[in-house]
Amino acid sequence: MKRRLVILTEIISPYRIPLFNVLARNESVDLHVIFLAETDPKLRQWRVYREEIKFSHQVLPSWRSRWGGYNLLLNRGVGRALAAAVPDLILCGGYNYVASWQALFWARSRRIPFLLWSESNLQDLRGGHEAVEFLKRKFLRMCSAFVVPGRSALEYLRAHRIEEGRIVVTPNAVDNDLFDAGAATARESATLRRGELKLPERYFLFVGRLVPEKGVFDLLSAYAKLDASLREEVGLVFAGDGESSRLLERQAATISPGVIRFAGFVEREALAPYYALAEALVLPTYTDTWGLVVNEAMACGLPVILSRAAGCASDLLRENETGLLIPPRDVEVLARSMKYIAEQPELRTSMGARARQHIRNYSPEAWSTAIAQAVTTTGISHD
């Protein structure tokens, strides 16, 4: 018999739609998704891919503001939406919204299992004030069970004394087939695509928000440390936008020789050629709950130079097999790693092939199967 699962999550993320579509087809799950907002235009420029949605869903009325470093999102009708959905279980994507707490208390008052979709990890630098941490611990204690994307998030919950039997690992995923096919098409007409996108013949690639905590200034400094002869052969491409874009561009203009290209924000369906034609993805982040761009790059057959601070590092990065691990904030090590990758074409090819193979284990189908397992094994009532 199917169990009614209601997922409560913030926005209609393009990266979650393929996962929810696959889950909706699972024979043991009756899925309904409640979005707290359609998008967050001040933080993300993602297009809302409504035409791709194949699952039952609704978007709650909302009001959003930013207060200090916090994102304040308020909703109307949380209780009514949950009551109308008649859930057997609720899976909540986070604990930092008022709606998350409303859903938690709503579920507990009706003895409905409440699962937290937790991606926090011990490397994450975004620790809150003591009052915020106190509320977080209280929230964790009241959850029935947990789903996490990988080892780093699992260790985080262990550190908060959550029993491992209450945690299900659900591998974080993107639409691998979309990126794999897009990469193959781009490589078939590589010269044409490079010309259309104004890409260097060879280049390192960064994809993401252009903000200091992503390590973008370290990446620029590391590129500047490469030998001039290497910079004449290999460029650097930033695909993304953010508060640091103007300053990055000004600093990049002082680096010569070398080609540094700022592509701006690139929609999901247009990213594959950037990955496919690059030497490697470089993500020197200081803090990242996961890093889905790593999934995307690996699906395109690209090796990765990845900071140990990324939540996905312990799951996706196999040292000298799918890429290279670096400590965050270490420009010297980053520059050496870039040089090492750039000078070994056979290694890049073998790493890319292993990355593409490894990421197949992190698919929407694998995520759906793990979520369905959590749905079928979590008890109907609290202890």
Q: What is the pLDDT of residues 193-245, one digit of tens each?
A: 999 999 999 999 999 999 999 999 999 999 999 999 999 999 999 999 999 99
Q: For residue 280, what are its two tokens?
A: 């490697």
Superfamily of domain 176-361: Glycogen Phosphorylase B; (3.40.50.2000)
Q: What local confidence, expressed as pLDDT, does residue 47 receive?
A: 86
The domain locations on the chain are 3-173+363-377, 176-361
* Nearest-angstrom CA–CA distance, 202 and 199: 8
Q: What is the pLDDT of residues 251-295, one digit of tens each?
A: 999 999 999 999 999 999 999 999 999 999 999 999 999 999 999
Q: What local confidence, expressed as pLDDT, does residue 43 receive?
A: 67
DSSP3 helix / strand / coil % (the chain, rounded to 5)? 45, 20, 35
Q: For residue 66, what are its two tokens?
A: 């930013």
CA distances from 42 to 71, 180, 207, 241, 244 (A): 11, 30, 18, 12, 15
176-361 and 3-173+363-377 share a CATH fold: yes
Q: What local confidence, expressed as pLDDT, does residue 381 receive?
A: 41
* pLDDT (mean) for 323-327: 98
Are 368 and 175 in contact by the 8 Å Cβ rule? The answer is: no
Q: What is the pLDDT of residues 259-268, one digit of tens each?
A: 999 999 999 9
Are 140 and 265 in contact by the 8 Å Cβ rule? The answer is: no
Architecture of the domain defined by 3-173+363-377: 3-Layer(aba) Sandwich (3.40)
Are 371 and 117 in contact by the 8 Å Cβ rule? The answer is: no
Q: What is the pLDDT of residues 350-374, one digit of tens each?
A: 999 999 999 999 999 999 999 999 9
Q: What local confidence, expressed as pLDDT, does residue 325 receive?
A: 98
